[in-house]
Amino acid sequence: MGISGRICFNRARTIIKPLLELLAGIPTVVYGFFAALVIAPMLRNTGENVGFVISSESALAAGLTMGIMIIPLVPSLSDDVINAVPQSLRDASYALGATEAETIKQVVLPAAIPGIARSLLLATSRAIGETMIVVMAAGLAANLTANPFEAATTVTVQIVTLLTGDQEFDSAKTLSAFALGLLLFVITLCMNVAALKIVDRYKEQYN
């Protein structure tokens, strides 16, 4: 990358990075309104034009909106991690005769992969625990289906639904909510363990 390319990259970064951080900081209820008022009607109208029947409350609308919410989080954190790699490592690689592409592939990325894995884990955990977007875009129907065009729900929404109102501790709804919470905990724990193994593997390889 030449000097002019670096200047263009730095200018684009100074514009794009604040926008990504702004998108990552928007409350989820705002994304929920955006999904219900913009994404869902747009998908329904598009489906009608191409011959698909898409519900006004669909898993596709919720998924697309959560993607819009989560995607800025990963590149923003990954950019911070990559920039945190010491410049001395890059200079040492250049001194040994490596090109810029080789330095990025063999030095920068191995050093930054643990942080990138953590950013992916954080974004995935945020998606798993999301409630407002699902409620406002996909509805509350406990519908077990693989069709993204139909209304659906998530574990977190069902926990909130089951615990709404006055419930006895030993009632079926309360016990079901605790069972769903335990399932969610196990899933998140397995994801954390897998992420830690990936981080440790690349740390050992880099060291």
CATH number at residue 200: 1.10.3720.10
Percent of the chain whose predicted confidence (pLDDT) is above 70: 91
Task: Give CA–CA dist 37/56, Å, rounded.
Answer: 10
User: Within a 10 A sphere around the Cβ of 123, how many other Cβ atoms?
Assistant: 20
Residue 204: pLDDT band with limits 50, 70, 90: very low
Q: How many domains does the chain have?
A: 1
Is there a contact between 24 and 78 (Cβ–Cβ < 8 Å)? no
Q: Which residue has the tokens 């994404």?
A: 39
pLDDT digits (tens, 9 = 90+) for 7-51: 676 777 788 878 877 877 788 888 888 888 888 888 888 888 888
Q: Is 149 helix (H, G, I), strand (E, B) or coil?
A: coil
Amino acid letter, 36: A
Task: Give CA–CA dist 4/100, Å, rounded.
Answer: 15
pTM of the predicted model as reported, rounded to 2 decimal places = 0.72
Q: CA angle, 163 as apex, 184 and 157 as ends, to 5°?
A: 50
Enter the tokens of residue 70.
Answer: 């989560």
With a cut of 80, say whether residue 168 has pLDDT above it.
no
Task: Give CA–CA dist 12/19, Å, rounded.
Answer: 11
For residue 159, the enclosing domain spans 3-206
